[in-house]
Amino acid sequence: MSARGGYASTAARYGRRVTPVVVLNGGSSSGKTSIARSLQRLLGPTWMTLGVDDLVRALPGGDEVDDLIRAQQDRDGPEGAQGSIEFGPDGSVTVSEDFRRAEAAWYAGLAVIGRCGTGLILDEVFLGGGSSQKRLAAALSGLPVVWVGVHCTPEVAAARERGRPDRVVGMARLQAERVHEGVIYDLVVETTATSAADCASAIASHLTALEG
């Protein structure tokens, strides 16, 4: 299973134009969601953006996750536990075996959407770096995947985080480099000094080049 060149090899195998799944991986506040929204506007009306935040919100307690995060920011309570996911006061995130089971089902569902060929952008945070990528790659096996690393310096990500009321302080800095460890990309975009729109254009150009 190779993450690199997934689109090209699948297109060659099927001998026809195929729609890749675009996976954006980056730490909190790196700019994934902003890029995904820009990219949707460039790629067409059927492209969907889904990601780990949707899974978290679908699980029990997901409707209270913003309150939980706010409580963590106050740092006056116990560790924020939402059943299958915990937010530490330092910005760390820990998930349980139950979360992993739900994640496997979620990934299987995403693969079904991907196979419909309408276009899928995944907004992900690979807490386990390369091992997280392997889990998602296995679920998307047989689909063309374009893996995009969304990089941002820890300092800039932390500054963005300070402007967001719905994020645990510390998460952005903690995740900024860790989520990329051991991950293999087709393309890397750097949001530290580049707008989301320009990063989206670079990804769209990459997709267009693959079609050729």
Ligand X SMILES: Nc1ncnc2c1ncn2[C@@H]1O[C@H](COP(=O)(O)OP(=O)(O)OP(=O)(O)O)[C@@H](O)[C@H]1O
Report the residue from 167, 179, 207, 210 that binds ligand X according to the rule CB under 6 A: 167
Q: Does 151 help bind ligand X (rule: CB under 6 A)?
A: no
Is the Cβ–Cβ distance between 83 and 98 less than 8 Å? yes
Tokens of 189: 């975009």
Nearer to ligand X by Cβ, of 18 and 188: the residue is: 188
Strands 93-95 and 85-87: antiparallel
* Count of residues touching ligand X (by CB under 6 A): 18
Report the residue from 20, 31, 62, 170 that binds ligand X according to the rule CB under 6 A: 31
**Beta strands in the chain, from DSSP E residues, in sequence order:** 21-25, 48-51, 80-81, 85-87, 93-95, 120-124, 145-151, 187-190
Subset of 79-138 contacting ligand X (CB under 6 A) = 125
Strands 21-25 and 48-51: unpaired
Q: Does 33 help bind ligand X (rule: CB under 6 A)?
A: yes
Active site residue 76: no
Catalytic residues: 53
Site residues (CB under 6 A) for ligand X?
Answer: 26, 28-34, 53, 125, 160, 163-164, 167, 191, 194-196
